[in-house]
Every structure is written in structure tokens, then in C-alpha cells.
Amino acid sequence: MIASIAATVTAVGVFLAVVGLRQSQRQRIRVFEDFYVKRYWDIMDHFSLDILYGRATSPLSENDGKAIFAYLLLCEDELDLRESGWISDATWRIWADGMRTQLGRSPFKDIWQEIANRLEQQPAEEPVPIQTFDQLRVFMSSNGADPLGQGHWWQRRVRGLRGWLNE
């Protein structure tokens, strides 16, 4: 009798510990996501009104060009984090849609195509540029494939990438 009560108490304790660890992991994931959302809005604050309204100017101002490059770097970082399992499924769907949309409109599309073409045509003997955008090139050429892959649903839930009931 005492052994079965002890086993039940132990099982409940282990379950509660796992739930606590999972919640802690979800909180760490939210902190990463919040940091990258802040970075996104900081970058958006650097664009001219013409870019924000979708009126591409030619030539781009230096500030707009730098902000677009910063946005591409942000996308690459987000893809790296997703591949490492630090971005939840719900947030990933929003970010992936946003990346595809933003990189599909001018002048983002034009700058991205120019960079991607340069990277593809770069001779092997030339030094590697500071950023090669490996993840972003795969993402865009695959029409937005998830860098984390599919995985098992239960692993995603335990790691805190999915909610228990709502995803």
C-alpha cells in the first residue's frame, strides 16, 4: 500500500517537474522571440517613408540600403534560430509569411535578388563575403520551407515549440 502511494507521488512529482521544465523552456523561447521582434521594429524605424509606403526610390538612399541589408541579416538570424529550435511553431508561421511577403516586394526583392545572384556567381577563388545568407537562400528557393523540419509532434510539444492544446 505504501509502495503504491509512493510510486504515485513520485510519478506526479516527475510529471510536475517535466511541466515546469517545459514552461521554463517556453519562457526562454518567448524571450528570444521578443528580442527579435524588437530588432525588427528597430530596423523598420530606419526606413524612409517612401520605403514604408512601398514607393521604391531609385537610387535607394544609403540609410534605406543599410536598413534592407539589416533586415536580410535579421531574416538569416531568425532562420538560424528556428533551425536550432528556439522559435515556436506559432511565431514561425507569422515570421515565415512576413519574410516571404517582404522579400517579394520592391525594393527588398530587388536587393535580395542582386545579393543572391552575386553569391551564386561568385568564383571559388574569391574571398567569401561577410554574409553568405545560406539559410535565406534555401528558404527563398524552397518557397519558405521550415528549417527545423517536421519532427514528431510530441517532441515539439515537450521542447515548448507547440502549445498543449492550441496548435
pLDDT score recorded for residue 29: 82
Q: Helices 62-83 & 2-44, crossing angle to 10 degrees?
A: 170
Q: Which residue reads 538569416 in cell numbers? A: 76
**How far apart are alpha carbons 109 and 123 in whole angstroms?**
24
**How far apart are alpha carbons 8 and 14 in whole angstroms?**
10
CA distances from 18 to 29, 30, 34, 153, 155 (A): 16, 18, 24, 17, 13
- Is 30 among the domain residues? yes
One-letter amino acid at 50 equals D
Q: CA triplet 83, 115, 149: central angle to 5 degrees?
A: 15
pLDDT score recorded for residue 18: 66
State how many domains the chain has. 1
- Is 164 among the domain residues? no
- Is 99 among the domain residues? yes
- Is 165 among the domain residues? no
Cβ burial, residue 159 (10 Å; 0-12/13-18/19+):
middle
- Is 167 among the domain residues? no
**Which phi and psi angles does 146 have, rounded to 5°?**
-70, 120
Q: How far is CA 16 from the centre of its chain?
A: 30
Q: CA triplet 60, 62, 67: central angle to 5 degrees?
A: 90
pLDDT per residue of the chain (167 residues) written in tens, 0 to 9:
787 887 787 777 777 776 676 677 778 888 888 999 999 999 999 999 888 887 777 788 899 999 999 999 999 999 999 988 888 888 999 999 999 999 999 899 999 999 888 888 876 666 666 678 999 999 999 988 999 887 666 667 666 677 654 44
One-letter amino acid at 58 equals S
Whether 47 and 67 have beta carbons less than 8 Å apart is answered as: yes
Q: pTM (2 decimals)?
A: 0.79
Domain, as residue range, for 8: 2-158
